[in-house]
Amino acid sequence: MLQALRTLFKKPPVIIGIVTALMFQVIFSVIWMTAYSGVNDRTKELTVAIVNEDGELSKGIADRLAETLPFHTVANLSASEALDQLNHHQVHMVLDIPAGFNESLQTAGATAEIKYTINEANPVTIKSMMQGVSQSVTNTINKQASAQGVQTVLTASGASADQAAQAAKNLTNRVEGKTTSINPVNGMNNQMVPMMMVLASYVGAMIMGMNLQVAMGMLSSMYSRMTLFGARVVINVGSALVVSLLGSSLIVALGGQIAQGFVAFWLFQALFLCTFMFFSQFFLICFGPAGSVFNIISLSLQLVSSGAMVPRELLNSFYSGIGHYLPATYAVQGILSVQLGGPGVQSAAGSIVVVLLIAVALSLVVTLLKKGRKPAGMPSPAPANS
């Protein structure tokens, strides 16, 4: 066995495999630990729209909410404008104080209702954070309403301490929160589809690209560089259509949501999968086997900066900025729209097409500039035996 070990460690593929495993640990540890550091301290980057339909009567409540909420707040939108911005992911929750809210607080036995609307076509952390905030706001307003109610009763009637205590008991839970959702998600499995699709698609594209590059090297002495590049394009496009058809079909068969229809879901996956193929193969064309290291870096960067797990608004400026140049960011945006509903898939698809065209163009330039072996001529037929 020792002899076998010595022989194996002399083989480059064994060394490359071990180094690759080490690089995965180093790259993922560095990128993920630095990307998610301080995420909880950047909640001010999330936006809550406060809509006050009760006018001056509830202005004080709206102002106090704007001061105390740990988010950026906007208060100059109508209800319809706020919902439209929520659907376009420009705000992350709409907090609506309806008309008659203050009057309900002042009416004995009545219950006032405050409305919260969230968009579930977002990273799962957005949904959980906003649900927690809605409960906290409701509890805070309840305490304020109870204190105001007790003070009103005591001032108006000069009640005793026992009567005041009973009044306080009757005045608790005067405010109820009602939470509604747009683009609702049916289960955690559907919430994780964007993350799963990006991870599976890019890793699959990486592995396919490495094997394709090896095959291209084997044929470099037989065919010209442009012939092989044309074959690469055909293989990538055809594979993207077939692989995405299988992936989309499995997601639907296993209970996945497709708000905008199966064809849109399939074709969008085919588009970003094809982009991943050309994007990852560019590093291999440019750097050879060493390009796999760049692909590991690219994979990790795209997972943290795409918004599939943590909202991009909570990342630091470096990671949120670099996400603008990586295709996974637009893949996640498009998947959320085509799978769960809402606008934005056309814009996301357009951005992915731009990345695709740049990746193809750069790969073609590098292919033309690299020196390669000239294809061998066709072997001459053997002379006939006389």
For the stretch 3-54, pLDDT in tens is 888 888 888 888 888 888 899 999 999 999 999 998 888 889 999 999 999 9
Q: Report whether pLDDT(262) > 70.
A: yes
Least confident of 35-44, 257-266, 343-352: 35-44
Q: Report whether pLDDT(218) > 50.
A: yes
Q: What is the pLDDT, as a whole number, of residue 386? A: 37
Please indicate whether residue 204 or residue 19 has the higher confidence score (pLDDT). Answer: 204
When pLDDT is cut at 50, 70 and 90, the band that residue 235 belongs to is very high
* pLDDT average, residue stretch 171-196: 85
**What's the whole-model pTM score?**
0.85
When pLDDT is cut at 50, 70 and 90, the band that residue 147 belongs to is low
Q: What is the pLDDT, as a whole number, of residue 378? A: 45
Helix (H), strand (E), coil (C) string for the chain: CHHHHHHHCCCHHHHHHHHHHHHHHHHHHHHHHHHCCCHHHHHHHCEEEEEECCHHHHHHHHHHHHHHCCCEEECCCCHHHHHHHHHCCCCCEEEEECCCHHHHHHCCCCCEEEEEEEECCCCHHHHHHHHHHHHHHHHHHHHHHHHHHHHHHHHHHCCCHHHHHHHHHHHCCCEEEEEEEECCCCCHHHHCHHHHHHHHHHHHHHHHHHHHHHHHHHHCCCCCHHHHHHHHHHHHHHHHHHHHHHHHHHHHHCCCCCCCCHHHHHHHHHHHHHHHHHHHHHHHHHHHHHHHHHHHHHHHHHHHHCCCCCCHHHCCHHHHHHHHHCHHHHHHHHHHHHHHCCCCHHHHHHHHHHHHHHHHHHHHHHHHHCCCCCCCCCCCCCCCCC
